[in-house]
Amino acid sequence: MLKVVHGGRYIIGKAARSGPPAENPLISWIAILSLLQLVAFWRILGRMGFPPWLAIIASLPLVNLIVLYYVAMSPWPREQQWKALRDEDGPDARF
């Protein structure tokens, strides 16, 4: 069964759908995984002493590689705090 629709477009039988096109399920999975990654990065960066808002930037494609190398190659703020505590002469001083 053929039907002529606006301007000569042909729609065959029940193949025509009305309404908006169906959403691609891949996009939904990408959104869910991005949110899970955001939560993990937020917690990890906060524990390392970096500002947690870097997690938002790290959720962008290709920018996440730049953030990864920045975090890997720069001295961690928490590591510097631990080093300062270790170098103090206190009750747990080196023998």
pLDDT digits 0-9 by tens, 7-47:
555 555 555 555 566 678 888 888 888 888 889 889 988 88
Q: Give the pair of three-digit tokens for residue 11.
A: 């729609």
Domain map (residue ranges) of the chain: 24-87
Predicted pLDDT at 10: 52
Q: Which residues of 28-52 are buried (b: 16+ CB within 10 A; e: fewer)?
A: eeeeeeeeeeeeebbeebeeeebee
Its pTM surpasses 0.85? no
